[in-house]
Structure 1
Amino acid sequence: MSSHAEPASPIPGIRRPLTLHRLHEMHAQGEKIAMLTAYDATLARLADEAGCDTLLVGDSLGMLIQGRDSTLGVSLDDMVYHTRCVARGLAAGGGTAWLVADLPFGSYHESRDQAMRSSAALMQAGAQMVKLEGGGWTAEVVRFITERGVPICAHLGLTPQSVHALGGYRIQGRDAEAASRLRQHARELHEAGAGMMVLELMPSSVAADVQADNPQLITIGIGAGPATAGQVLVVHDMLGLTRGKLPRFVQNFLAEVAQEGGDVAAALRAYVQAVKDGRFPDPTRHAY
Protein backbone atom coordinates (compact mmCIF):
# COMPACT_ATOMS: atom_id res chain seq x y z
CA MET A 1 0.00 0.00 0.00
CA SER A 2 1.35 3.43 -0.85
CA SER A 3 0.38 6.97 0.04
CA HIS A 4 -0.72 9.22 -2.82
CA ALA A 5 -0.85 12.47 -0.86
CA GLU A 6 0.95 15.25 -2.68
CA PRO A 7 3.76 16.96 -0.75
CA ALA A 8 2.95 20.42 0.48
CA SER A 9 4.72 23.30 -1.21
CA PRO A 10 7.28 25.01 0.96
CA ILE A 11 6.23 28.47 2.14
CA PRO A 12 9.13 30.88 1.80
CA GLY A 13 9.89 33.28 4.61
CA ILE A 14 8.22 31.35 7.42
CA ARG A 15 11.34 29.65 8.85
CA ARG A 16 14.82 29.84 7.44
CA PRO A 17 16.88 26.64 7.22
CA LEU A 18 18.86 26.14 10.39
CA THR A 19 22.64 26.02 10.28
CA LEU A 20 25.12 25.28 13.03
CA HIS A 21 25.96 28.99 13.06
CA ARG A 22 22.29 29.87 13.57
CA LEU A 23 21.98 27.29 16.38
CA HIS A 24 24.95 28.89 18.12
CA GLU A 25 23.26 32.28 17.73
CA MET A 26 20.10 30.92 19.32
CA HIS A 27 22.12 29.50 22.20
CA ALA A 28 23.97 32.80 22.70
CA GLN A 29 20.63 34.61 22.81
CA GLY A 30 19.26 32.22 25.43
CA GLU A 31 16.74 30.48 23.16
CA LYS A 32 16.25 26.83 24.07
CA ILE A 33 16.84 24.32 21.28
CA ALA A 34 14.30 21.54 20.70
CA MET A 35 15.49 18.22 19.29
CA LEU A 36 13.63 14.97 18.63
CA THR A 37 14.67 11.64 17.17
CA ALA A 38 13.35 10.76 13.72
CA TYR A 39 13.65 7.56 11.73
CA ASP A 40 11.25 8.01 8.79
CA ALA A 41 10.07 10.65 6.35
CA THR A 42 6.58 11.12 7.80
CA LEU A 43 7.47 11.83 11.43
CA ALA A 44 10.50 13.85 10.35
CA ARG A 45 8.27 16.13 8.32
CA LEU A 46 5.72 16.45 11.13
CA ALA A 47 8.42 17.27 13.68
CA ASP A 48 9.91 19.87 11.37
CA GLU A 49 6.52 21.46 10.75
CA ALA A 50 6.00 21.55 14.53
CA GLY A 51 9.05 23.81 14.81
CA CYS A 52 11.65 21.30 15.97
CA ASP A 53 15.09 22.86 15.55
CA THR A 54 17.10 19.68 15.16
CA LEU A 55 16.31 16.07 14.31
CA LEU A 56 18.45 13.13 15.34
CA VAL A 57 18.48 9.90 13.35
CA GLY A 58 19.40 7.88 16.40
CA ASP A 59 20.72 4.34 16.54
CA SER A 60 17.85 3.87 19.00
CA LEU A 61 16.06 2.72 15.85
CA GLY A 62 17.60 -0.64 16.69
CA MET A 63 15.09 -1.09 19.51
CA LEU A 64 12.19 0.99 18.21
CA ILE A 65 12.17 0.06 14.52
CA GLN A 66 14.13 -3.20 14.31
CA GLY A 67 13.00 -4.83 17.57
CA ARG A 68 16.49 -5.35 19.00
CA ASP A 69 17.32 -5.27 22.71
CA SER A 70 20.08 -2.66 22.32
CA THR A 71 21.68 -0.35 19.76
CA LEU A 72 24.69 -2.62 19.26
CA GLY A 73 23.35 -4.53 16.25
CA VAL A 74 22.61 -1.42 14.17
CA SER A 75 24.83 -1.20 11.09
CA LEU A 76 26.16 1.77 9.17
CA ASP A 77 23.98 0.69 6.24
CA ASP A 78 20.94 0.85 8.54
CA MET A 79 21.87 4.39 9.59
CA VAL A 80 22.46 5.49 5.99
CA TYR A 81 19.06 4.13 4.95
CA HIS A 82 17.13 5.89 7.72
CA THR A 83 19.11 9.11 7.30
CA ARG A 84 18.09 9.14 3.64
CA CYS A 85 14.45 8.60 4.62
CA VAL A 86 14.49 11.49 7.09
CA ALA A 87 16.36 13.78 4.69
CA ARG A 88 13.77 13.07 1.97
CA GLY A 89 10.95 13.84 4.38
CA LEU A 90 12.51 17.18 5.22
CA ALA A 91 13.17 18.04 1.60
CA ALA A 92 9.64 17.15 0.50
CA GLY A 93 8.14 19.62 2.96
CA GLY A 94 10.70 22.38 2.55
CA GLY A 95 12.12 21.41 5.93
CA THR A 96 14.39 23.64 7.97
CA ALA A 97 15.56 21.40 10.84
CA TRP A 98 19.26 20.69 11.31
CA LEU A 99 19.83 16.97 10.73
CA VAL A 100 22.13 14.90 12.95
CA ALA A 101 22.83 11.18 12.46
CA ASP A 102 24.42 8.65 14.79
CA LEU A 103 27.61 6.80 13.96
CA PRO A 104 26.65 3.26 15.03
CA PHE A 105 28.70 0.92 17.18
CA GLY A 106 31.85 -0.30 15.43
CA SER A 107 31.76 2.33 12.67
CA TYR A 108 34.34 4.68 14.22
CA HIS A 109 36.20 2.59 16.80
CA GLU A 110 38.83 1.00 14.56
CA SER A 111 40.65 4.10 13.27
CA ARG A 112 40.29 7.77 12.45
CA ASP A 113 40.12 6.86 8.76
CA GLN A 114 37.26 4.45 9.41
CA ALA A 115 35.46 7.17 11.37
CA MET A 116 35.89 9.59 8.47
CA ARG A 117 34.57 7.09 5.93
CA SER A 118 31.54 6.35 8.10
CA SER A 119 30.90 10.06 8.64
CA ALA A 120 31.13 10.71 4.90
CA ALA A 121 28.53 8.00 4.24
CA LEU A 122 26.06 9.65 6.62
CA MET A 123 26.74 13.13 5.25
CA GLN A 124 26.22 11.89 1.70
CA ALA A 125 22.91 10.40 2.84
CA GLY A 126 21.74 13.83 3.99
CA ALA A 127 23.08 14.36 7.52
CA GLN A 128 24.49 17.78 8.35
CA MET A 129 26.24 16.61 11.52
CA VAL A 130 27.25 13.21 12.88
CA LYS A 131 27.16 12.05 16.50
CA LEU A 132 29.52 9.71 18.32
CA GLU A 133 29.53 8.44 21.88
CA GLY A 134 32.04 8.59 24.68
CA GLY A 135 34.99 10.64 25.87
CA GLY A 136 38.71 10.15 26.24
CA TRP A 137 39.95 8.49 23.06
CA THR A 138 37.12 9.99 21.00
CA ALA A 139 38.58 13.52 21.27
CA GLU A 140 41.31 12.59 18.78
CA VAL A 141 38.66 11.21 16.42
CA VAL A 142 36.57 14.38 16.76
CA ARG A 143 39.57 16.56 15.96
CA PHE A 144 40.47 14.50 12.90
CA ILE A 145 36.93 14.55 11.48
CA THR A 146 36.11 18.19 12.20
CA GLU A 147 39.37 19.26 10.55
CA ARG A 148 38.00 17.59 7.43
CA GLY A 149 34.76 19.53 7.43
CA VAL A 150 32.35 17.27 9.29
CA PRO A 151 30.42 18.90 12.17
CA ILE A 152 30.42 16.67 15.25
CA CYS A 153 27.93 16.18 18.06
CA ALA A 154 29.49 14.39 21.04
CA HIS A 155 27.56 12.29 23.57
CA LEU A 156 28.46 11.85 27.24
CA GLY A 157 26.83 10.38 30.31
CA LEU A 158 24.84 7.26 29.60
CA THR A 159 26.20 6.13 26.26
CA PRO A 160 24.01 3.22 25.08
CA GLN A 161 26.72 1.73 22.85
CA SER A 162 28.73 1.11 26.05
CA VAL A 163 25.77 -0.20 28.06
CA HIS A 164 27.48 -3.49 28.97
CA ALA A 165 30.67 -1.74 30.08
CA LEU A 166 28.62 0.70 32.15
CA GLY A 167 26.72 -2.12 33.87
CA GLY A 168 23.33 -1.25 32.43
CA TYR A 169 21.21 1.86 31.97
CA ARG A 170 22.41 3.73 35.04
CA ILE A 171 22.73 7.38 35.99
CA GLN A 172 26.28 8.56 35.31
CA GLY A 173 28.41 11.07 37.22
CA ARG A 174 26.87 10.49 40.64
CA ASP A 175 30.10 10.70 42.64
CA ALA A 176 32.69 13.47 42.57
CA GLU A 177 35.28 11.46 40.63
CA ALA A 178 32.84 10.41 37.92
CA ALA A 179 31.45 13.95 37.65
CA SER A 180 34.96 15.37 37.31
CA ARG A 181 35.74 12.87 34.56
CA LEU A 182 32.60 13.83 32.64
CA ARG A 183 33.54 17.51 32.87
CA GLN A 184 37.07 16.77 31.69
CA HIS A 185 35.85 14.72 28.74
CA ALA A 186 33.40 17.46 27.79
CA ARG A 187 36.17 20.08 27.76
CA GLU A 188 38.41 17.84 25.68
CA LEU A 189 35.68 17.12 23.14
CA HIS A 190 34.71 20.78 22.86
CA GLU A 191 38.34 21.81 22.41
CA ALA A 192 38.70 19.11 19.75
CA GLY A 193 35.89 20.71 17.75
CA ALA A 194 32.56 19.26 18.90
CA GLY A 195 29.93 21.95 18.35
CA MET A 196 27.09 20.14 20.06
CA MET A 197 26.92 17.58 22.85
CA VAL A 198 24.17 15.29 24.12
CA LEU A 199 24.26 14.85 27.91
CA GLU A 200 22.27 11.79 28.91
CA LEU A 201 21.09 10.53 32.30
CA MET A 202 23.22 12.47 34.75
CA PRO A 203 22.55 14.67 37.78
CA SER A 204 21.29 18.13 36.83
CA SER A 205 24.18 19.73 38.71
CA VAL A 206 26.75 17.88 36.61
CA ALA A 207 25.09 18.88 33.34
CA ALA A 208 24.92 22.47 34.59
CA ASP A 209 28.65 22.36 35.35
CA VAL A 210 29.42 21.02 31.86
CA GLN A 211 27.45 23.86 30.29
CA ALA A 212 29.11 26.44 32.57
CA ASP A 213 32.57 25.06 31.77
CA ASN A 214 31.87 25.35 28.03
CA PRO A 215 29.52 28.32 27.60
CA GLN A 216 29.67 28.31 23.79
CA LEU A 217 28.93 24.60 23.52
CA ILE A 218 25.36 23.61 22.60
CA THR A 219 24.48 20.99 25.20
CA ILE A 220 21.35 18.93 24.59
CA GLY A 221 19.98 17.19 27.64
CA ILE A 222 18.03 13.97 28.03
CA GLY A 223 17.51 13.18 31.67
CA ALA A 224 20.11 15.84 32.52
CA GLY A 225 17.97 18.63 33.94
CA PRO A 226 16.99 22.07 32.69
CA ALA A 227 20.38 23.86 32.55
CA THR A 228 21.38 22.55 29.12
CA ALA A 229 21.02 24.62 25.95
CA GLY A 230 18.30 22.34 24.67
CA GLN A 231 16.44 19.06 25.11
CA VAL A 232 15.93 15.86 23.17
CA LEU A 233 13.46 13.01 23.59
CA VAL A 234 12.92 9.82 21.64
CA VAL A 235 9.86 10.55 19.54
CA HIS A 236 8.23 7.19 20.29
CA ASP A 237 8.61 7.86 24.02
CA MET A 238 7.02 11.31 24.01
CA LEU A 239 4.13 10.02 21.89
CA GLY A 240 3.48 7.12 24.28
CA LEU A 241 4.28 4.47 21.67
CA THR A 242 7.11 2.76 23.57
CA ARG A 243 6.07 -0.28 25.59
CA GLY A 244 7.34 -0.98 29.08
CA LYS A 245 8.41 1.27 31.92
CA LEU A 246 9.85 4.56 30.74
CA PRO A 247 12.45 6.62 32.62
CA ARG A 248 11.23 9.51 34.73
CA PHE A 249 12.58 12.12 32.31
CA VAL A 250 10.01 11.17 29.66
CA GLN A 251 6.75 13.09 29.31
CA ASN A 252 3.85 11.74 27.24
CA PHE A 253 2.84 14.81 25.26
CA LEU A 254 0.31 12.96 23.10
CA ALA A 255 -1.69 11.81 26.14
CA GLU A 256 -1.87 15.41 27.34
CA VAL A 257 -3.07 17.00 24.09
CA ALA A 258 -5.42 14.08 23.36
CA GLN A 259 -7.54 15.14 26.31
CA GLU A 260 -8.54 18.17 24.26
CA GLY A 261 -8.79 16.38 20.93
CA GLY A 262 -5.19 16.95 19.88
CA ASP A 263 -3.30 14.66 17.52
CA VAL A 264 0.33 13.69 16.88
CA ALA A 265 1.10 17.01 15.23
CA ALA A 266 -0.33 18.84 18.25
CA ALA A 267 1.79 16.72 20.60
CA LEU A 268 4.94 17.58 18.66
CA ARG A 269 4.08 21.27 18.79
CA ALA A 270 3.39 21.02 22.52
CA TYR A 271 6.81 19.45 23.10
CA VAL A 272 8.63 22.15 21.12
CA GLN A 273 6.75 24.91 22.95
CA ALA A 274 7.42 23.37 26.36
CA VAL A 275 11.15 23.22 25.61
CA LYS A 276 11.18 26.79 24.31
CA ASP A 277 9.25 28.07 27.34
CA GLY A 278 11.48 26.22 29.79
CA ARG A 279 8.53 24.17 31.10
CA PHE A 280 10.19 20.94 30.03
CA PRO A 281 11.99 19.38 31.72
CA ASP A 282 10.40 20.08 35.08
CA PRO A 283 13.24 19.84 37.64
CA THR A 284 10.92 18.26 40.19
CA ARG A 285 9.57 15.57 37.84
CA HIS A 286 12.11 14.85 35.11
CA ALA A 287 15.54 15.43 36.65
CA TYR A 288 17.98 13.62 38.94
Structure 2
Amino acid sequence: MKITDFGKYKQAGRKISMLTCYDYWTASIVEQSDVDCLLVGDSLGMVMHGHDSTVTVTMDMMELHTRAVVQGAPSKFIVGDMPFLSNRGSLDKSLENVHRLMTAGAQAVKIEGVKGNETLISHLVDSGVPVMGHLGLMPQSVNTLGGYKVQGKSQQQADEIIAQALQAQASGCFALVIECVPTSLGLSLSQSLDIPVIGIGAGVHTDGQVLVMQDMLGAFEHNANFVRTYCNLQETLQQAFDGFAEDVRTEQYPNTDESYPS
Protein backbone atom coordinates (compact mmCIF):
# COMPACT_ATOMS: atom_id res chain seq x y z
CA MET A 1 0.00 0.00 0.00
CA LYS A 2 1.19 3.50 -0.83
CA ILE A 3 0.18 6.89 0.54
CA THR A 4 -1.83 7.57 -2.63
CA ASP A 5 -3.87 4.40 -2.09
CA PHE A 6 -5.64 5.77 0.99
CA GLY A 7 -7.66 8.26 -1.03
CA LYS A 8 -8.14 5.81 -3.91
CA TYR A 9 -9.50 3.13 -1.58
CA LYS A 10 -12.01 5.53 -0.06
CA GLN A 11 -13.24 6.64 -3.48
CA ALA A 12 -13.58 3.02 -4.56
CA GLY A 13 -15.37 1.98 -1.34
CA ARG A 14 -12.56 -0.43 -0.55
CA LYS A 15 -12.10 -0.80 3.23
CA ILE A 16 -8.63 -0.29 4.76
CA SER A 17 -7.28 -2.83 7.27
CA MET A 18 -4.72 -1.72 9.82
CA LEU A 19 -3.08 -3.40 12.82
CA THR A 20 -0.73 -2.17 15.48
CA CYS A 21 2.69 -3.81 15.47
CA TYR A 22 5.66 -3.36 17.74
CA ASP A 23 8.41 -5.88 16.95
CA TYR A 24 10.28 -7.70 14.21
CA TRP A 25 8.89 -11.21 14.48
CA THR A 26 5.21 -10.28 14.39
CA ALA A 27 5.92 -7.73 11.65
CA SER A 28 7.55 -10.46 9.56
CA ILE A 29 4.37 -12.52 9.85
CA VAL A 30 2.08 -9.61 8.96
CA GLU A 31 4.39 -8.93 5.99
CA GLN A 32 3.02 -12.14 4.42
CA SER A 33 -0.63 -11.25 5.17
CA ASP A 34 -3.35 -9.26 3.40
CA VAL A 35 -3.37 -6.52 6.08
CA ASP A 36 -2.92 -3.15 4.35
CA CYS A 37 -0.86 -1.14 6.81
CA LEU A 38 0.73 -1.13 10.25
CA LEU A 39 0.67 1.35 13.09
CA VAL A 40 3.59 1.40 15.50
CA GLY A 41 1.29 2.71 18.18
CA ASP A 42 2.20 4.27 21.49
CA SER A 43 -0.06 1.54 22.89
CA LEU A 44 3.24 -0.36 23.01
CA GLY A 45 3.73 1.26 26.40
CA MET A 46 0.88 -0.86 27.73
CA VAL A 47 1.14 -3.94 25.50
CA MET A 48 4.92 -4.39 25.39
CA HIS A 49 6.08 -2.61 28.54
CA GLY A 50 3.23 -3.16 30.99
CA HIS A 51 2.48 0.48 31.77
CA ASP A 52 -0.98 1.68 32.80
CA SER A 53 -1.28 4.21 29.96
CA THR A 54 0.47 5.56 26.89
CA VAL A 55 1.61 8.69 28.74
CA THR A 56 4.91 7.06 29.78
CA VAL A 57 6.02 6.30 26.20
CA THR A 58 9.16 8.11 25.03
CA MET A 59 10.66 8.95 21.65
CA ASP A 60 13.44 6.44 22.33
CA MET A 61 10.84 3.69 22.70
CA MET A 62 8.96 4.73 19.57
CA GLU A 63 12.12 4.94 17.50
CA LEU A 64 13.37 1.52 18.67
CA HIS A 65 10.09 -0.28 17.96
CA THR A 66 9.59 1.48 14.63
CA ARG A 67 12.98 0.29 13.38
CA ALA A 68 12.13 -3.29 14.36
CA VAL A 69 8.77 -3.24 12.58
CA VAL A 70 10.25 -1.72 9.42
CA GLN A 71 12.85 -4.51 9.35
CA GLY A 72 10.12 -7.15 9.59
CA ALA A 73 7.59 -5.66 7.19
CA PRO A 74 9.47 -3.68 4.54
CA SER A 75 6.62 -3.76 2.00
CA LYS A 76 3.86 -2.53 4.34
CA PHE A 77 2.85 1.11 4.80
CA ILE A 78 4.00 1.93 8.33
CA VAL A 79 2.75 4.79 10.49
CA GLY A 80 4.59 5.82 13.65
CA ASP A 81 2.82 7.37 16.64
CA MET A 82 4.04 10.65 18.08
CA PRO A 83 4.15 9.97 21.85
CA PHE A 84 2.83 12.15 24.64
CA LEU A 85 3.99 15.80 24.40
CA SER A 86 6.54 14.99 21.67
CA ASN A 87 4.73 17.36 19.30
CA ARG A 88 3.72 20.03 21.83
CA GLY A 89 7.03 21.79 22.39
CA SER A 90 8.73 24.21 20.04
CA LEU A 91 8.39 23.72 16.32
CA ASP A 92 12.08 22.83 16.08
CA LYS A 93 11.81 20.18 18.80
CA SER A 94 8.65 18.73 17.27
CA LEU A 95 10.36 18.53 13.88
CA GLU A 96 13.33 16.81 15.47
CA ASN A 97 11.04 14.16 16.98
CA VAL A 98 9.21 13.63 13.70
CA HIS A 99 12.55 13.32 11.94
CA ARG A 100 13.54 10.52 14.33
CA LEU A 101 10.46 8.46 13.45
CA MET A 102 10.81 9.06 9.73
CA THR A 103 14.50 8.16 9.66
CA ALA A 104 13.62 5.02 11.65
CA GLY A 105 11.59 4.01 8.61
CA ALA A 106 8.05 5.23 9.24
CA GLN A 107 6.31 6.50 6.12
CA ALA A 108 3.94 8.72 8.08
CA VAL A 109 3.33 9.94 11.62
CA LYS A 110 0.11 9.94 13.65
CA ILE A 111 -0.70 12.89 15.88
CA GLU A 112 -3.45 12.85 18.51
CA GLY A 113 -5.73 15.86 18.53
CA VAL A 114 -6.06 18.87 16.27
CA LYS A 115 -6.32 21.88 18.57
CA GLY A 116 -2.87 23.39 18.91
CA ASN A 117 -1.45 21.09 16.24
CA GLU A 118 -2.79 22.84 13.14
CA THR A 119 0.41 24.76 12.37
CA LEU A 120 2.63 21.74 12.96
CA ILE A 121 0.48 19.47 10.78
CA SER A 122 0.50 21.99 7.93
CA HIS A 123 4.25 22.51 8.26
CA LEU A 124 4.93 18.76 8.26
CA VAL A 125 2.76 18.17 5.20
CA ASP A 126 4.44 21.06 3.39
CA SER A 127 7.79 19.51 4.36
CA GLY A 128 6.91 16.14 2.84
CA VAL A 129 5.77 14.26 5.94
CA PRO A 130 2.38 12.49 5.65
CA VAL A 131 0.29 13.02 8.80
CA MET A 132 -2.53 10.82 10.09
CA GLY A 133 -4.85 12.46 12.61
CA HIS A 134 -6.54 10.89 15.64
CA LEU A 135 -9.77 12.07 17.29
CA GLY A 136 -12.50 10.74 19.56
CA LEU A 137 -11.01 8.91 22.52
CA MET A 138 -7.39 10.05 22.62
CA PRO A 139 -5.44 7.82 25.05
CA GLN A 140 -2.75 10.47 25.63
CA SER A 141 -5.51 12.67 27.09
CA VAL A 142 -6.87 9.99 29.40
CA ASN A 143 -6.11 12.11 32.48
CA THR A 144 -8.14 14.98 31.04
CA LEU A 145 -10.98 12.75 29.83
CA GLY A 146 -11.27 11.01 33.19
CA GLY A 147 -10.75 7.53 31.81
CA TYR A 148 -11.31 5.47 28.68
CA LYS A 149 -14.84 6.54 27.78
CA VAL A 150 -16.93 6.70 24.62
CA GLN A 151 -16.69 10.17 23.09
CA GLY A 152 -19.16 12.17 20.99
CA LYS A 153 -22.30 10.82 22.64
CA SER A 154 -24.06 14.19 22.82
CA GLN A 155 -24.84 16.25 19.73
CA GLN A 156 -22.57 19.03 20.97
CA GLN A 157 -19.65 16.64 21.41
CA ALA A 158 -20.31 15.04 18.04
CA ASP A 159 -20.41 18.42 16.31
CA GLU A 160 -17.10 19.38 17.94
CA ILE A 161 -15.42 16.16 16.78
CA ILE A 162 -16.71 16.70 13.24
CA ALA A 163 -15.41 20.29 13.31
CA GLN A 164 -11.99 19.11 14.46
CA ALA A 165 -11.98 16.37 11.83
CA LEU A 166 -12.65 18.93 9.11
CA GLN A 167 -9.80 21.03 10.51
CA ALA A 168 -7.49 18.01 10.43
CA GLN A 169 -8.37 17.53 6.78
CA ALA A 170 -7.87 21.23 6.02
CA SER A 171 -4.48 21.14 7.75
CA GLY A 172 -3.38 18.35 5.41
CA CYS A 173 -3.97 15.03 7.17
CA PHE A 174 -4.22 12.18 4.65
CA ALA A 175 -6.34 9.99 6.96
CA LEU A 176 -7.97 10.08 10.37
CA VAL A 177 -8.24 7.51 13.16
CA ILE A 178 -11.47 7.88 15.11
CA GLU A 179 -11.67 5.97 18.38
CA CYS A 180 -14.58 4.96 20.62
CA VAL A 181 -17.47 6.96 19.23
CA PRO A 182 -21.08 5.99 18.42
CA THR A 183 -21.64 4.22 15.10
CA SER A 184 -23.72 7.16 13.83
CA LEU A 185 -20.80 9.55 14.38
CA GLY A 186 -18.41 7.20 12.60
CA LEU A 187 -20.77 7.26 9.62
CA SER A 188 -21.15 11.05 9.72
CA LEU A 189 -17.37 11.52 9.78
CA SER A 190 -16.84 9.19 6.84
CA GLN A 191 -19.52 11.01 4.86
CA SER A 192 -18.25 14.48 5.83
CA LEU A 193 -14.57 13.94 4.99
CA ASP A 194 -12.80 13.40 1.70
CA ILE A 195 -9.96 11.61 3.51
CA PRO A 196 -10.47 8.06 4.83
CA VAL A 197 -11.68 7.57 8.39
CA ILE A 198 -10.20 4.51 10.08
CA GLY A 199 -12.26 3.42 13.04
CA ILE A 200 -11.49 1.63 16.28
CA GLY A 201 -14.70 1.20 18.19
CA ALA A 202 -16.46 3.53 15.74
CA GLY A 203 -18.82 1.13 13.99
CA VAL A 204 -18.84 -0.56 10.61
CA HIS A 205 -19.45 2.49 8.41
CA THR A 206 -15.95 4.00 8.61
CA ASP A 207 -13.54 3.64 5.68
CA GLY A 208 -11.41 1.09 7.50
CA GLN A 209 -10.65 -0.52 10.83
CA VAL A 210 -7.62 -0.67 13.12
CA LEU A 211 -7.11 -2.97 16.10
CA VAL A 212 -4.32 -3.63 18.57
CA MET A 213 -2.75 -6.85 17.33
CA GLN A 214 -2.51 -8.53 20.71
CA ASP A 215 -6.17 -7.77 21.40
CA MET A 216 -7.44 -9.41 18.22
CA LEU A 217 -5.12 -12.38 18.81
CA GLY A 218 -6.59 -13.01 22.27
CA ALA A 219 -3.31 -12.41 24.06
CA PHE A 220 -5.04 -10.79 27.04
CA GLU A 221 -8.05 -11.83 29.10
CA HIS A 222 -9.90 -8.51 29.04
CA ASN A 223 -10.59 -6.46 25.93
CA ALA A 224 -12.85 -3.58 24.99
CA ASN A 225 -16.26 -4.65 23.69
CA PHE A 226 -15.38 -3.57 20.13
CA VAL A 227 -12.52 -6.10 19.90
CA ARG A 228 -13.14 -9.30 17.98
CA THR A 229 -10.65 -12.04 18.86
CA TYR A 230 -9.57 -14.14 15.89
CA CYS A 231 -7.68 -16.75 17.92
CA ASN A 232 -6.86 -17.59 21.55
CA LEU A 233 -3.14 -16.87 21.57
CA GLN A 234 -2.96 -16.86 25.35
CA GLU A 235 -4.26 -20.43 25.57
CA THR A 236 -2.13 -21.63 22.65
CA LEU A 237 1.07 -20.22 24.12
CA GLN A 238 0.28 -21.49 27.62
CA GLN A 239 -0.17 -25.00 26.25
CA ALA A 240 3.12 -24.76 24.36
CA PHE A 241 5.00 -23.51 27.44
CA ASP A 242 3.49 -26.20 29.66
CA GLY A 243 4.27 -28.88 27.07
CA PHE A 244 7.90 -27.79 26.92
CA ALA A 245 8.24 -27.76 30.71
CA GLU A 246 6.69 -31.26 30.97
CA ASP A 247 8.96 -32.68 28.26
CA VAL A 248 12.02 -31.27 30.01
CA ARG A 249 11.01 -32.71 33.39
CA THR A 250 10.26 -36.16 31.92
CA GLU A 251 13.34 -36.14 29.68
CA GLN A 252 11.20 -36.34 26.55
CA TYR A 253 13.10 -33.33 25.24
CA PRO A 254 15.56 -33.41 23.64
CA ASN A 255 15.31 -36.79 21.91
CA THR A 256 18.06 -38.47 19.92
CA ASP A 257 17.24 -36.62 16.71
CA GLU A 258 17.42 -33.32 18.58
CA SER A 259 20.84 -34.07 20.05
CA TYR A 260 24.37 -34.14 18.57
CA PRO A 261 26.10 -37.55 18.56
CA SER A 262 29.36 -38.01 20.47
Query: RCO greater where, 1 or 2, for CA within 8 Å and sep 6 or more?
Result: 1
- Aligned ranges 1:108-257 → 2 under 5 Å: 108-214=87-193, 216-243=194-221, 245-255=222-232
Instruction: Find the aligned partners of 1:111 and 1:33 in 2 and give their Cα distance.
Output: 34
Write out per-residue CA displacement over residues 133-153 of structure 1, whole angstroms, 9 at most, x where no aligned residue: 012212222111111110000
Matching residue's letter, 1:86: V
1:175-219 superposed Cα distances (whole Å, 9 cap, x missing partner): 0111010000000010100001100000111111111111x2111
Q: Flag as ranges the 4+ runs of structure 1 deviating above 3 A.
A: none
2:31–2:72 contact (8 Å) kept in structure 1: no
Rg (Cα) greater in structure: 2
**Is there any run of 5+ residues in structure 1 with no aligned partner, and where?**
1-17, 260-288
Contact 1:112 1:144 (8 Å CA) reproduced: no
User: Which secondary structure does the structure 1 equivalent of 2:7 belong to?
Assistant: helix
TM-score with structure 1 setting the length: 0.79
Displacement of 1:154 after TM fit?
0.4
Equivalent in the alignment of 1:51: 34
Structure 2 CA distance for aligned equivalents of residues 198 and 69 of structure 1: 22
Aligned length: 235
Give ranges in structure 2 of 5+ residues lacking alignment. Answer: 237-262
Identity %: 38
Local SS of the residue matching 2:31: helix
TM-score by length of 2: 0.87
The AA in structure 2 aligned to 1:134 is G
Distance 1:111 1:54 in 2: 30
SS of 2:98's partner is helix
* Aligned match for 1:102, one of 81, 93, 97: 81
Structure 1 equivalent of residue 63 of structure 2: 80
CA RMSD of aligned residues (A): 1.5
How far has the Cα of 1:222 moved from its partner? Answer: 0.2
Stretch deviating more after TM superposition (247-256 or 32-41): 247-256
Match of 1:35 in 2: 18
- Asked if the contact 2:30/2:73 (under 8 Å) is kept, the reply is no
CA distance in structure 2 between the partners assigned to 1:233 and 1:125 by the alignment: 23
Aligned 8 A contact 1:115 1:145 in 2: no
CA distance in 1, matches of 2:203, 2:93: 34
